[in-house]
């Protein structure tokens, strides 16, 4: 009997280890949504750390409209009818955007002022949508805490672990920061989503990368406004090269001077406080 139990334990451990090493995610889709909602409530409860853009309903509606148009323009968005896909503008000079589980996406006014056209905004939002669709955050939670603790979070048996996850959101995202493989995957899907949608130039996220590189070279160091961006979204030349590689791989032949919507974006950008 003891021998059988020992063998069973080894089999379970091997199975768990294999499951864990293959990008395991113990959270259900509904739990992604609930966790994202809990995080959203925490963000709204901390206006000092995450000051919402007040007023400027036209700007907020514009940003949300761009995001929702991406979600609704292609069947590649698997959870479009499950995740709420909310787009919130945070009034801060930080040049960044981030996503929590379930499609809760946040964009800083610092980023909106930094970029120059609607297609680039679409590329960034599509990148964040890809993080939600690929469920990167709950996969990282499973990986970070291991199967045992993650199961407790999933089952609601460990509020301390859930509180720890929440606290990481408020210290530069902590272990919730995306890995390089996550970032590459999100970049790839950004191109796929925009190519499938047909409205925007699919490689528009490259203009965001170009501007960051130009700013770094101009100052000779990482400017303070993009410190958090670079800590959670590592930028390397290979990410820029990857955009061109994926455009070729996906056979995207769009004219890079079209589908940018520069004038429309500049009109809305000028309204920012």
Spatial distance between the Cα atoms of 113 and 92, rounded to a whole number of angstroms = 10
CB 192 within 8 A of CB 76: yes
State how far the alpha carbon of 247 is from the alpha carbons of 77, 226, 241, in Å.
19, 27, 10
Nearest-CA neighbor of 250 among 179, 208, 187? 187
Our answer to whether residue 264 is catalytic in this structure is no
Spatial distance between the Cα atoms of 101 and 169, rounded to a whole number of angstroms = 12
Count CB neighbours of 190 within 10 A: 26
Structure tokens at 96: 């960044």
Torsion of CA 43, 48, 54, 59, to 10 degrees: -70
Estimate the share of the chain in helix, then strand, then coil, as percent rounded to the nearest 5: 65, 5, 30
Nearest-CA neighbor of 149 among 136, 162, 168, 167? 162
Q: Which of 57, 118, 128, 215 is catalytic?
A: 128
CB 204 within 8 A of CB 122: yes
Residues noted as catalytic: 128
């Amino acid at each position: 009997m003891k021998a059988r139990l020992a063998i069973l334990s080894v089999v379970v451990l091997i199975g768990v280890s294999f499951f864990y090493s293959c990008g395991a995610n113990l959270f259900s889709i509904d739990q992604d949504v609930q966790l994202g909602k809990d995080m959203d409530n925490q963000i709204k409860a901390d206006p000092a750390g995450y000051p919402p853009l007040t007023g400027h309903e036209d700007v907020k509606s514009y940003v949300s409209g761009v995001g929702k148009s991406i979600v609704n323009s292609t069947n590649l968005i698997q959870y479009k009818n499950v995740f709420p896909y909310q787009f919130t503008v945070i009034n801060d000079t930080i040049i960044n955007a981030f996503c929590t589980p379930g499609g809760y996406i946040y964009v800083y006014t610092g980023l909106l002022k930094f970029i120059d056209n609607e297609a680039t905004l679409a590329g960034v939002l599509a990148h964040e949508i890809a993080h939600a669709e690929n469920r990167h955050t709950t996969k990282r939670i499973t990986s970070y805490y291991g199967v045992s603790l993650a199961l407790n979070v999933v089952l609601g048996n460990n509020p301390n672990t859930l509180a720890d996850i929440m606290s990481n959101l408020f210290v530069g995202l902590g272990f919730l920061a995306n890995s390089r493989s996550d970032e590459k995957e999100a970049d790839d899907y950004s191109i796929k989503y925009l190519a499938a949608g047909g409205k925007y130039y699919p490689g528009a996220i490259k203009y965001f990368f170009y501007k960051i590189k130009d700013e770094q070279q101009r100052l000779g160091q990482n400017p303070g406004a993009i410190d958090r961006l670079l800590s959670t979204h590592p930028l390397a030349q290979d990410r820029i090269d990857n955009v061109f590689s994926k455009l070729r791989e996906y056979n995207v032949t769009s004219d890079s001077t079209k589908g940018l919507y520069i004038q429309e974006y500049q009109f809305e950008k000028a309204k920012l406080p």
